A and B are shown apart, each in its own frame.
Chain A
Amino acid sequence: MSQLLSFRRENDLVTEIADLSEQNFYACYQCGKCSAACPAAFAMDIPPHQLIRLLQLGQGEKAMQSDAPWSCVGCLTCTTYCPKGVDPARIMETVRTLHLRRLEGPFRYTQLDGERLAALPQSALVAAMRKVTW
């Protein structure tokens, strides 16, 4: 009978992601425009609209396990295209930020290749340090 119960399960993690991103996940009606527009979706385990679906279903930990937020570069194409005014890029950044605050994530800045970094534009370095490394 559990199928007859609401599957919307709020919990602390999902509430925290909603609060910090200031986004209403339930506004999303899963049209998938964000995922169609995303230039990095090809590299994600699940595309942006599916990450939002997990949050709608209360699956905060599953959303946290996705690698999608690390592929998101915050270009805001999804944000521009969303017909419901949802800002998926803020949700991506929130998930990433929660990881970084736990001192975890795939990009440890001390482990980046220093020689290669020297050849890169410094604004890209500053942005990467801010957004994805810990």
Chain B
Amino acid sequence: MKDNVDTMLQVMSKKVLIVEDNELNMKLFHDLLEAHGYETLQTREGLKALDLAREHKPDLILMDIQLPEVSGLEVTKWIKDDEDLSKIPVVAVTAFAMKGDEERIRKGGCEAYLSKPITVTSFIETVRKFLD
């Protein structure tokens, strides 16, 4: 019984770390995830993202690529190099949408790639694919 509740709680409170430097886009992703029952952690800096990931062990990371100091690809590399974190799927959500960008980003260790502007349906579908 207790186990069941625990599993349910776990399902209910899947944590998504959003790394995004644009406030409005952060809000959009946060609202979308919240509406679908996910818990979010937010940061606009790559270095903080690593700390948050270590501290909270999120179930999914949404990673913007162009970030103020360290690039999202760099952060992804650190995460994938870290034994504790490498299992966490990283979905790149980026405005780098030229041909070749997706390939480059996937090679950088991201499990999935979403180009901005996103469509609500494909965004939620992608997130669900990793969390459900």
The finding on whether chains A and B are genuine partners in a shared complex, rather than unrelated, reads: no
**Residues of B bordering A, CB below 8 Å:** none
**Residues of A bordering B, CB below 8 Å:** none
